[in-house]
Structure 1
Amino acid sequence: MLGKLNKKQVIPVISIKNVQKIFPSKQGQLRAVDDVNLEIQEGEIFGVIGYSGAGKSTLIRMLNGLELPTNGTVTVAGRVISKIKGAELRKARQEISMIFQHFNLLWSRTVSENIAFPLEIAGIKDPERQKRVSELIKLVGLEGRENAYPSQLSGGQKQRVGIARALANNPKVLLCDEATSALDPQTTDSILELLVDINKRLGLTIVLITHEMHVIRKICHQVAVMEGGKVVELGQVLDVFKNPQQAITKRFVQQVTEPEETKETAEHLIERYRSGQIVQLTFVGGSAEQPVITNVIRNNNVTVNILQGKISQTQSGSYGTLFIHIDGNEADVNKAVDYIRSQQVGVEVVTNEQ
């Protein structure tokens, strides 16, 4: 009994239990969120991915009370957000900040004044407010742009202002609503790197919604895949990449692991290499860092050509795909393929010897 009492209980910073959100429509009731259950731990970067209409935006808006669930409970940082109102909800929202796809900055205010705005609302006096603004400008890399107006900033700089403003009141949770969708790929990566840095420095819990698997792959620890208002798949990002279960998840994973030209490339390779086997290899975690190809050549009487490949990093490890052509007599080629399989590498034969 004493052992049970002494054992530390891990309490999630966000708990979503049996949550539904139903909207009336001309066709009847629309279940935007349908019986969702999620737990998000403190300090975690949690991604929610889905196509338009999946319910992800409605779900994230219930985390700060912008939407109320039709059924179920939403608890954030110890408060049941789905039940509180008025002053208590306003106080809770100081601990649950949000950044948006289109920045939502005040265009008549400078960078410093935008960041100071939530501090003014919270009643923070001027000297302390200015000190906090200076800290945040440095944190998000906007030194020298303090007196610029939003119209004078790039998209990435605007989002950095949005992030700094969201951090002003030292929140426990940061919600990101398609925060990089309006940005070019290079700027997207710089914003994602900033979010990872903030997560590590401040221990901040981050929840983001997106339709881009690149965003999930780059920064998230866990991911929930939504379709038709339901969470259809949930797990550690590397595990989901390694073994996606649902068709929609497989399509998202292919966004990152298989470029659009992969099918055309495979068809071209089949025409080009009439002998041997073209094999697609999938590497996960430690296997991505092992000299598998070197060992295949060294231990088997075959030749190996690397045709196309890509290795991506997730927060939990590496994930990659590689197309190779293995040539030699049939027995040696099959032996080489069997060896690769024994190294915890996924193997899919694209074409057999003809």
Structure 2
Amino acid sequence: MIKLEQITKQFRLSNRSLTAVDAVDLEIREGEIFGIIGYSGAGKSTLIRMLNGLEKPTGGRVTVNGMEMSSISGADLRKARQKVSMIFQHFNLLWSRTVAENIAFPLEIAGVKKADREPRVRELIRLVGLEGREDAYPSELSGGQKQRVGIARALANEPDVLLCDEATSALDPETTDSILDLLTDINKRLNLTIVLITHEMHVIRKICHRVAVMEAGRVVEMGDVLQVFRSPQQPITKRFVSQVTETHDIKQAIGQLVRENPDGTLIRLGFVGERTGEPVLARLIRTFDIDVNILQANVSQTHGGTFGSIILNLAGDEAAVAKAVEFLHSEGVETEVIERD
């Protein structure tokens, strides 16, 4: 569906060259929700803009649904863009047009007759849950409603790909979840390929099938979301995962408990799928003569399944603690010994 081959994008500044995207290889499958995450300046917005030809790569090839976006221009590019739609952080609505008129605008540009536009607009209004708001203007809408208009407008020409550029960053958490639920529903109903860029790991966890992590213009880690959450490899990925799995309050509480219990071995356990409900800790406590203190525990849901993590402090005879850790390994529990600061 989407293939990036050694994509590079450089910008000429007054006295130097800036590499925003650096030799990225990426494949996105048809019908999946693919997330690209990175902090500001990572290159993710530049990358996504090359998928619909808003930016041309300095080097490499961008192919979307068989069309090489990196080489076409003019009428061919305009036609290709009808199948690669985009929604934005700040909605980009036409403030002098009503909801229905905003949604109809791409159809007008495409030369669709009014008699054919109207049923399509009504269908899209139902799809995004804006019945009764057809004649409202953007100034009369909430942030979530504005983004629903943006989504409906992006779907007007029945695209194959929907690009989401920080589409929930301007929304409160509850509204963000409602928009993510809508995107998930659209993905399932229409088999629409969605590429979503964000700096929020909550967004990735909730709806994405796979994720690429960007840093300094490069993709430094990529994989199924569940696997990335279970076993992040790069320091930046671990920081993103900790946004969801370790809140500031929890970190402070763990730090306090560690200070109060300076002896022992800190370990982090990972459980996946059905294993999250198994009584492994109960067997551990019954089997070994050690003190087990649970410092943190949580269970999270990703698109690919459930995973849980527990941080323990094991105190007691050194040999007994070592055997306890070995027991956890033998039970198939992902176990990591945490170094104390």
TM-score, normalization: structure 1? Answer: 0.89
**How big is each residue's C-alpha offset from its partner over 1:188-216, in whole Å with a ceiling of 9 and x where there is no partner?**
11111111111111110000111111111
Matched, 1:336 2:324: yes
Matched, 1:194 2:182: yes
Alignment of 1:70-219 (within 5 A): 70-219=58-207
**How big is each residue's C-alpha offset from its partner over 1:198-242, in whole Å with a ceiling of 9 and x where there is no partner?**
111111000011111111111111111111111111211122222
- Are 1:177 and 1:208, in contact at CA under 8 Å, matched by a contact in 2? yes
The alpha-carbon distance between structure 1 residues 84 and 347, as it changes in their structure 2 partners (threshold 3 A), is same
Match of 2:222 among 220, 234, 257: 234
The alpha-carbon distance between structure 1 residues 246 and 275, as it changes in their structure 2 partners (threshold 3 A), is closer
Distance 1:120 1:281 in 2: 56
Moved more, 104-113 or 125-134: 125-134
Q: Which residue of 2 aligns with 1:4?
A: none
- Are 2:254 and 2:296, in contact at CA under 8 Å, matched by a contact in 1? no
Q: Which residue of 1 aligns with 2:307?
A: 319
How far is the alpha carbon of 1:288 from its aligned partner?
A: 2.4
Distance 1:251 1:277 in 2: 23
Match of 2:51 among 37, 52, 63: 63
Q: Secondary structure at the match of 2:92?
A: coil
- Are 1:276 and 1:329, in contact at CA under 8 Å, matched by a contact in 2? no
- Are 2:294 and 2:310, in contact at CA under 8 Å, matched by a contact in 1? yes
How far is the alpha carbon of 1:334 from its aligned partner?
A: 4.3
The alpha-carbon distance between structure 1 residues 159 and 282, as it changes in their structure 2 partners (threshold 3 A), is same
How far is the alpha carbon of 1:174 from its aligned partner?
A: 0.2
How far is the alpha carbon of 1:159 from its aligned partner?
A: 0.6
Q: Secondary structure at the match of 1:65?
A: coil
Give me the CA root mean square deviation: 2.2
The alpha-carbon distance between structure 1 residues 351 and 166, as it changes in their structure 2 partners (threshold 3 A), is closer
Distance 1:28 1:279 in 2: 47
Match of 1:35 among 23, 29, 33: 23
How far is the alpha carbon of 1:161 from its aligned partner?
A: 0.8
Distance 1:147 1:132 in 2: 16
Distance 1:27 1:227 in 2: 24
Q: Which residue of 1 aligns with 2:239?
A: 251
How far is the alpha carbon of 1:278 from its aligned partner?
A: 4.9
- Are 1:287 and 1:343, in contact at CA under 8 Å, matched by a contact in 2? no
The alpha-carbon distance between structure 1 residues 132 and 295, as it changes in their structure 2 partners (threshold 3 A), is farther
Aligned residues: 340
How far is the alpha carbon of 1:267 from its aligned partner?
A: 2.0
How far is the alpha carbon of 1:76 from its aligned partner?
A: 0.8
Alignment of 1:254-269 (within 5 A): 254-269=242-257
Mark the runs of 5 or more structure 2 residues left unpaired by the alignment. none
How far is the alpha carbon of 1:120 from its aligned partner?
A: 1.5
Matched, 1:292 2:280: yes
Q: Secondary structure at the match of 2:39?
A: coil
Distance 1:125 1:244 in 2: 51
How far is the alpha carbon of 1:118 from its aligned partner?
A: 0.9
- Are 1:116 and 1:168, in contact at CA under 8 Å, matched by a contact in 2? yes
Q: Secondary structure at the match of 1:261?
A: helix
**How big is each residue's C-alpha offset from its partner over 1:69-119, in whole Å with a ceiling of 9 and x where there is no partner?**
111111111111111111111111110000000000111111111111111
Distance 2:335 2:290 in 1: 17
Distance 1:293 1:153 in 2: 50
- Are 1:270 and 1:351, in contact at CA under 8 Å, matched by a contact in 2? no
Give, as a single letter, the amino acid of the residue that structure 1 aligns with 2:205: R
Give, as a single letter, the amino acid of the residue that structure 2 aligns with 1:240: V
Runs of 4+ in 1 over 6 A off after TM superposition: none
Give, as a single letter, the amino acid of the residue that structure 2 aligns with 1:123: G
